[in-house]
Amino acid sequence: MQGCNFQLSSSRSPWLEPRMSSVGFQVAMHSGYFLGELGGSGLCRLKCRVQCSQLWQSTSLVNNQKEKDRYSCIDQPTSYLHVQSLRNFPTQKLCGEVVMVRLDSAVLLGHLGPCTFSLERALLTIKYLYKARAKVIIVTSWDTTLHSNNPEVKSIDSFAEYLSSILQVEVIPVDGGLGLTSFKKEKWVQNSIILFENLLNFRGEVANCNDFSQKLASGATIFVNDSFSLSHKILASTVGITRFCYASLAGFHFDEELTRLIKITDTTRRPYIAIVGGGNFLRKAPALRMLISLCDGLFFVGKLSFQIMKGLGMPVPSQFIERNAIMEALQIIEVARDRNVPIYYPTDLWCLNNDNCGTSGVINSAGQLDGWTPADIGPSTLEKISSIIPLYKKILWIGSTKYDLAEEFSVGATQLGQILEKASFDSCEVILVGSAACNTLRRKTGSSSQCIEFKNATVVWEFLKGRILPGIAALDKRYPYRIPWSTVFCDSTLPLVVDIGSGNGLFLFEMAKRYECSNFLGLEMNGKLVIRCLQGMALYEKRNLYFVSTNATSTFHSIVSSYPGRLSLVTIQCPNPDFNKEQNRWRMVRRMLVEAVADLLQTNGQVYLQSDVESVLLGMKEQFLSYGNGQLVVDGGDCGHRMENPFGVASDWERHVLARGAPMYRTMLRKV
């Protein structure tokens, strides 16, 4: 039998395989007890035991619906928004690495002239990487037709010259191909940045083609996304590329925009009112339902207001009513009444006479609109808005106030912008979404607005609809909470054992029972399994076990680094192999995870790897030895992979494999 340096005190021999007859995990989610392998009397005793036991604080969080995800991120629909950022990535790990940065050409080309905060943040990402001595590659797309009057985008060479001028660093264009395979390395001098070909010239970009993504990422090890306005799209340069880089991070501009996006649904500052405009009520209905659940008031303008007015029983000409929209409007009105949330709509409108296009006038919105085409909100409506704005601490304006595209009838939007800008200086938080809202401030020269601005409204609408934004979801995640270790564990100074991919938790439950002089932490992506495990902890009096719902591949460092004690052992057992996709077979064990484990593990700490598929074990072992920075070695010499289980505790799948007579493949690594 191969020896093991993992020393834990136990009243029994640590080499005996345990039998967990008291706990099973075939349970209903809200049953409050476990069924397991128990008889009738045993089940009754177990029911009583669970129902009568005093649950310690961390377990009671699970039974409280409002707080069950406080530390474990269980059932958090927005947990994907907590991403790894360049700001928090270790600077020393950037030196010498090939870093690919996806920039937003709208930020780069939309502000030629005075430098804006968005442009400054985008340039800061490049300058930060350059200063950290990373090898920087820029990828972006620009529409030569849209910017036909702009000489900077006529060719990749002129665009590279423009970037060189604003970065004050030489930018070398790579024309006609993508990836470092098409680039002559001798051209890449030490003090230069590479610009790849315009992505609009490649069909694989929009198709998110796997082969195109792999070619684009060839040679790059780290990906930085700084193109927030494309977050709602699935592109090879924002989503597909992340499969081929060991780290995918948010740039400074992306990180700031994401922080602002999250503020839209933050209801800390109340009362909160949303001014919603534009058209297409049906498509925006999910977002409107979100807003009516968040806000303390809604003011509808633009074409959306007609659907609400119709739902309130007011006369509206049929040509202004969207087909099949009335039921959605009635649902929103009903929710508003249940929550006692006021709904406002225009009292008057600037209108154009249909018979005489040069004639305009102000018409009461509840009056006769036949023969008139609404153009913008009227003066009475603006007075109404001005009177209610001081009642609110937070304001969101999303969508145009206009009813058509006539630029000459933008006086309502301009005056509304002035009202909101004044409110922003009166300590009111104002968020402007869309070009219609943001441009109202641009018309005032020398304006120093305090408002939060989102030029691209599509990203915000998709976010409010509750949809996952692919460009954000593709980035590596960080753990958003700091776990209160002294609350979770009885003694947070004990050595810590972490099981990555803890599954149903049977392995850790028995380990925690046998080895009481260590703390045990299970990291598992499946939130339902974590809930079951946290409920199961009600059966144990010892507080040396806890479970967290997270993707440990990217969050391991942010979770474990805050633990007060030492990390003594990390186990990874039987990750699911994918034989159909060779590149995904060992996706759990990636370079980022290996580096985090190697950095945090104590000297002589161990990494235990096992699988019933030998090729999977070999892959994990190779990853740890390759990316462990020379800190990890095979413990006890490399004597094959048929060592016995060193703990005397078998995982659930391990028992299943051994029961059918199949072998298990294991290895133990040690930090030197």
Tell me the one-letter amino acid at 466.
G
DSSP 540-558: -----EEEEES-HHHHHHH
Beta partners for 477? 83
Nearest CA to 331 out of 278, 288, 362, 367 is that of: 288
Q: Which residue has the tokens 């149903």?
A: 504
> Helix or strand or coil: residue 438?
helix
Q: What is the pLDDT of residue 350?
A: 84
Say if strands 222-226 and 98-103 run parallel, antiparallel, or are unpaired: parallel
Q: What is the pLDDT of residue 46?
A: 33
159 pLDDT above the threshold of 60: yes
Q: What is the pLDDT of residue 472?
A: 95
Q: What is the pLDDT of residue 118?
A: 75
Please enumerate in sequence order all residues whose Cβ is within 8 A of that of 598, keeping only pairs 6 or more positions apart, or say none: 624, 627, 628, 629, 631, 632, 671
Q: What is the pLDDT of residue 178?
A: 64
Where residue 669 falls (left for φ over 0; alpha for ψ -120 to 50; beta otherwise) is beta
Helix-, strand-, coil-residue percentages of the chain, each rounded to 5: 40, 15, 45
Alpha-carbon distance of 205 to 624, in angstroms, equals 33
Beta partners for 496? 519, 567
Alpha-helix runs per DSSP H in 182-301: 203-206, 210-217, 252-264, 281-294
Residues 217-241: what's their mean pLDDT? 94
Alpha-carbon distance of 401 to 376, in angstroms, equals 6
Q: Which residue has the tokens 């230069």?
A: 192
24 pLDDT above the threshold of 70: no
Phi, psi of 445 (to 5 degrees): -65, 140
Element (H, E) at 376: strand 372-377
pLDDT band at 11 (very low <50, low <70, confident <90, very high): very low
| Of residues 638 and 559, more confidently modeled | 559
Q: What is the pLDDT of residues 379-409, one digit of tens each?
A: 999 999 999 999 999 999 998 888 765 555 5
| Of residues 112 and 494, more confidently modeled | 494
234 pLDDT above the threshold of 70: yes
Greatest mean pLDDT among 327-336, 365-374, 474-483 lies in 327-336
When mean pLDDT is compared across 78-82, 177-181, 421-425, 520-524, the lowest value belongs to: 177-181
Q: What is the pLDDT of residue 22?
A: 34
pLDDT band at 410 (very low <50, low <70, confident <90, very high): low
Q: What is the pLDDT of residue 40?
A: 41
Q: What is the pLDDT of residue 69?
A: 41
597 pLDDT above the threshold of 90: yes
559 pLDDT above the threshold of 70: yes
284 pLDDT above the threshold of 90: yes
How crowded is residue 350: how many other Cβ atoms within 10 Å of its Cβ?
A: 24
Q: What is the pLDDT of residue 187?
A: 56
To the nearest whole percent, how much of the chain has pLDDT over 70? 78
Q: What is the pLDDT of residue 400?
A: 87
Residue 421 Cα distances to 149, 426, 434, 447, angstroms:
32, 9, 16, 10
Give the chain's largest Cα–Cα span.
97
Element (H, E) at 396: strand 394-398
Say if strands 519-524 and 567-573 run parallel, antiparallel, or are unpaired: unpaired
Q: Are residues 8 and 606 in contact, defined by beta-carbon separation less than 8 angstroms? A: no
Quote the crossing angle between the two packed helices 379-388 and 411-425, to the nearest 10°: 10
Q: Are residues 233 and 225 in contact, defined by beta-carbon separation less than 8 angstroms? A: no
Alpha-carbon distance of 151 to 144, in angstroms, equals 9
To the nearest whole percent, how much of the chain has pLDDT over 90? 48
Q: What is the pLDDT of residue 587?
A: 62
Alpha-helix runs per DSSP H in 500-551: 506-514, 527-536
Q: Are residues 97 and 245 in contact, defined by beta-carbon separation less than 8 angstroms? A: no
Here the tokens at position 262 are: 């999250």
When mean pLDDT is compared across 29-33, 111-115, 378-382, 417-421, the lowest value belongs to: 29-33
Beta partners for 665? 611
Residues 622-650: what's their mean pLDDT? 86
Q: Are residues 35 and 24 in contact, defined by beta-carbon separation less than 8 angstroms? A: yes
21 pLDDT above the threshold of 80: no
> Helix or strand or coil: residue 592?
helix
| Of residues 643 and 299, more confidently modeled | 299
Say if strands 632-634 and 665-671 run parallel, antiparallel, or are unpaired: antiparallel
Cα 428 from chain centroid (whole Å): 28
Beta partners for 380? none
When mean pLDDT is compared across 15-19, 469-473, 558-562, 602-606, the lowest value belongs to: 15-19
223 pLDDT above the threshold of 90: yes
17 pLDDT above the threshold of 60: no
Instruction: For the chain, give the mean pLDDT.
Output: 81
Residues 644-661: what's their mean pLDDT? 91
Q: What is the pLDDT of residues 255-279, one digit of tens each?
A: 999 999 999 999 999 999 999 998 8
Q: What is the pLDDT of residue 269?
A: 92
| Of residues 423 and 319, more confidently modeled | 423
